[in-house]
Each structure stands twice: as C-alpha cells, then as structure tokens.
Structure 1
Amino acid sequence: MGIRYNKITDKHQREIVLLKSFPCKYGKCSFCNYIEDNSTSEEEINSVNFEVLKEVTGEYGVLEVINSGSVFELPSDTLAEIKKVVKEKNIKTLYFEIYYGYIKRLNEIREYFDGIEIRFRMGMETFDDDFRINSYNKNFRVSDEMLSLMSKELYSVCLLVCTKGQTKEMIEKDIEMGLKYFKAITINIFIDNETKVKRDNELVKWFISKYSHLTKDDRVELLIDNKDLGVFEQ
C-alpha cells in the first residue's frame, strides 16, 4: 500500500503526486526498484491517476508530478486530466521528471501546458560519467556542450550519494557542479533497496556531518530518507 499524494510544507511549498505510468523508456538503472510501479494497462494507470489528482487543492499554486520514469510515459488521458486540474485549481508552476533521452523534446510539454511555468527535473545521479555508467548503469555521457544545454532546459537535477564505490571527492564535486549549472538540486542519500547498488554507511556519517547545513539552503532539497517527500509505493 503506498501514499500517492502529499503536501510539502517547509521550503518550496507544493503539492506532490506519485502517478502510475507506462514502463520507463530506459528502465535499466541499477539502483532503481521504483519501476515496479509501472503498468502496461492504460486503463489501470488512468484509473489510479484520476483518483490521485482529485486530491489536488491548488493551495500553493505549485504541483509536482512524479512517476516511475518520465512525464513522456504518462498516458495522454492522464496528461489531459493534469491540464484540467491545473486550470481548475489555478496552479501556476508544474514540476515534471524526465529522462536524459528526452532532453530535446521538452518543448512538447511546455506547449501542451501553455501559460504554466514548467520545471523539469532529471536524474543525473552523478557528474562522473564513468561512475554513472559503470556503477549506476545509467548509460549517457555529458559533454560541456550538453551540460550547457541541460542548464537551460532543466530546472534541477537529482544526485544520488553515499553508495559503495563513491568517494568524498566525487560527492563534493557533484554538489559543486549541480549548484553551478542548475537553479536547484535534489540530493538523495541512498537507502538499500534490494538492488545491486549498496549504501556506504561511513560516507553517510561523513556526508551528514559535512552537509546537514544544506537543509537550510533554498536551492537544495536534501532527502535523508527516500520517503521524505511523503509519497511512495511499497
């Protein structure tokens, strides 16, 4: 049993919904057990999502939509329902997740939600290409030119920290790069989840002693537990 709706009431106040979607186009990230929430039944996906979207009140004018994949894996009926809710509840800002492979298609979503500020987040996990590819099985490299494009197209990136094989220097550089190129970053401290990626508890202790002040930084959302956003699927 999961929780699919929540309100974030501290910094960056917003409503957040966890929607069902078609399978993630990539679906091979070695740390992710999240894609178990996917479905191939459009009817089931829409039925779940329509119920969740009924809970949105619009009280903050900001809605974040997350799903196990990208906004492009949501069925068209779900997108239409989001659009309807956004209009009815006078929501001005919408957050969506995307996968790297969709980076050049973001205007499709901006045009569909014309008049709404769209903020895209992407799972970068780390700026170290080799570690991203070899340890996280997230198969893309980022050139300086691509980084420059991404900094224009994306509002924020997610970083995954404190996994076995990572070093303090990599984490320091990731945070520095994230804040240099993007308006905001989300930092997830990894929690063991039966995938082959494992948590490094020594790194966690170091990270919390060094970076717990980031909870007060407006540009950073620090998730010490991956359920900190209050939505999750068991």
Structure 2
Amino acid sequence: MGIRYNKIQDKHRREIVLLKSFPCGYGRCSFCNYIEDNSLDEKEIDRVNEETIKNITGEYGVLEVINSGSVFELTKNTMEMIQRVVHEKNIKIIYFEIYYGYIKRLDEIRKLFPGVEVRIRMGLETFNDDFRINCYNKNFRLNEKTLKLLSEELYSVCLLLCTRGQTREMIDRDIELGLKYFKNITLNIFIDNGTIVKRDNDLVKWFVGKYSYLQEEDRVELLIDNKDLGVFEQ
C-alpha cells in the first residue's frame, strides 16, 4: 500500500501527488522500479487519480504532480481533473516531470494552465554521458546546444547520486554543473530497490559529510531517502 498525497512543509512548501499513468514512454532506465505503478487500465488509472486529487487543498498555492513516467503519460481525464483543481483551488505554481524525449513538447502542457507558472523537472541523473548511458541506460548525450535547450525549457533536473561506479569527482561535477545550468536541482541519494543499480555506502558517508549543508540551500532539494517527499507506492 502506498501513499499518494502529502504536504511538504519545510523548504519549498507545496502539496505533492503521486498519480498512476500509462507505461513510461521510455521505461528502460536501469535504476527505476517506479514503472511497476504503470497501468493499461484507463478506468483504474482515473479512479486512483480522482481519489488522490480530491485531497488537494491549494493551501500553499503550489502543487507538484509526479507519476511513473512523464506528464505526457497521464490520461486525458486525469489531466482535466488537474486543470480543474488548479483553477478551483487557485494554484499559482505547478510542477510536472518529463523524460528527455518530450523536451520539445512542453508548450502543450503550459497552454493547459494559463496564468499558472508551469515548472518542468527532468531526470538527468548525471552530466557524465558514458555513465548515464552505460550504467543508467538513459540513452541521450549532452552538448552545449542540448544543455542550452534544457536550461531554457526546464526548471530543474534530478541527479542520482552514490551509486556503484560513481566517483567523488563525478558527484562534485554533477552538483557544480547542475547549479550552473538550472534554477533548481534535486539530489537523490540512491537506495537499493531490487534493480541492477546498487548503492555505494562509502560514497553516501562521504557525500553526507561534505554536502549535508545543501539541505539549507534554497536552490537544492536533497533527498537522503527517496521517500523523503512522503509519497511512494510499494
């Protein structure tokens, strides 16, 4: 049994919902077990999401929507429910997630929410192309042109840290470049989840010793545990 609604009350106060969706359009990331929450049953997806969306109060004026894939995998009915609650509860900022392959389609989402600031997050995982492709099976490369596009279109990226094979230097560089190119970054310390990607506990100890101060940094969301957002399906 999972938890699909929560209020985040420390830094960046907001409501957050974990919604069901159709299968992730990519679905091959080697570290991801979220896709087990996907479904092909549209009625079941909408039923679960309607129950979740009912919890939204709008009290912070900020809503984050996550699902096991991209916003583009949510059903039409679910998107209409989100539009309604954003309007009814006077929500001013809304977050969605996308996969890299959708980067040129973001205006389709923005136009659904006139007068609302739509903030898009994307899982970049690392700025190291070889590690992203060969270890995380996330099949895109970065260059200056791509980074410029991403920095213009996205509000923030998620970086996956402390997995076996990473080095301290890679993590230092990821944090440095994340803050250079993006308004905001999420640092997600990996927790073993049954996938082939494994956590490096020595790196975790080093990271917490060096970077725990980032919990106070306004541009950084640091997730020591991937359940820190308070929503999860298990």
The equivalent of 1:228 in structure 2 is 228
Q: 1:146 matched to which residue of 2?
A: 146
Tell me the amino acid that sits aligned with residue 179 of structure 1: L
Show the counterpart of 1:89: 89
Q: Deviations over 1:19-53 (max 9, x none)?
A: 00000000000000010000001100000001100
Give the Cα separation in 1 of the matches to 2:104 and 2:149: 9
What does the per-residue CA deviation read over 1:121-149, in whole Å, with 9 as the maximum and x for residues that have no partner?
00000000000000000000011101001
Aligned to 1:26: 26
Distance 1:192 1:112 in 2: 37
Question: Residue by residue, what CA displacement relative to the aligned partner does 1:62-117 show, whole Å, maximum 9, x if unpaired?
Answer: 00000000000000100000000000000000000000000000000001112110
Partner AA of 2:176 in structure 1: E
Say which SS state the counterpart of residue 199 (structure 1) adopts: coil
Question: For this pair of structures, how many residues does the alignment match?
Answer: 234
Structure 1 residues 84-123: aligned runs within 5 Å:
84-123=84-123
What is residue 54 of structure 2 aligned with on the other side?
Answer: 54
Percent same amino acid at aligned positions? 74
Gaps of 5+ in 1: none
Partner of 2:213: 213
Q: How far did residue 209 of structure 1 move?
A: 0.2
**Structure 2 Cα separation of the partners of residues 50 and 119 of structure 1:** 22
Structure 2 CA distance, aligned partners of 1:46 and 1:74?
A: 9
The whole-number CA distance in structure 1 between the counterparts of 2:90 and 2:51 is 19
Q: With the length of structure 1 as denominator, give the TM-score of the two structures.
A: 1.00
Distance 1:20 1:193 in 2: 19
Report the Cα distance in structure 2 between the residues aligned to 1:6 and 1:39, rounded to whole angstroms. 22
Unmatched runs of 5 consecutive residues or more in structure 2: none
The letter for the 2-side match of 1:124 is: L
* Equivalences for residues 129-140 of structure 1 within 5 A: 129-140=129-140
Cα distance in 2 between the residues matched to 1:89 and 1:166: 43
Find the aligned partners of 1:169 and 1:128 in 2 and give their Cα distance.
11
Q: Which residue of structure 2 lines up, in the alignment, with residue 65 of structure 1?
A: 65
> Following the alignment from structure 1 to structure 2, what is the Cα–Cα distance between the partners of residues 103 and 175?
22
Aligned equivalents of 1:77, 1:7: Cα separation in 2: 24
Aligned counterparts, 1:4-15, within 5 A: 4-15=4-15
Quote the Cα distance in structure 2 between the aligned partners of 1:11 and 1:210: 20
> Per-residue CA shift, 1:181-230, capped at 9, x if unaligned?
00000000000011000000000000000000000000000000000000
CA distance in 1 between counterparts of 2:2 and 2:192 reads 18
Equivalence for 1:184: 184
Q: Compute the displacement of 1:57 (Å).
A: 0.2
Distance in 2, Cα, partners of 1:20 & 1:187 = 24
Paired with 1:141 and 1:81, the residues of 2 have a C-alpha distance of 35
SS in 2 for 1:6: strand
Query: Where does structure 1 differ by over 4 angstroms across 4 or more consecutive aligned residues?
Result: none
CA distance in 2, matches of 1:165, 1:118: 35
2:197 match? 197
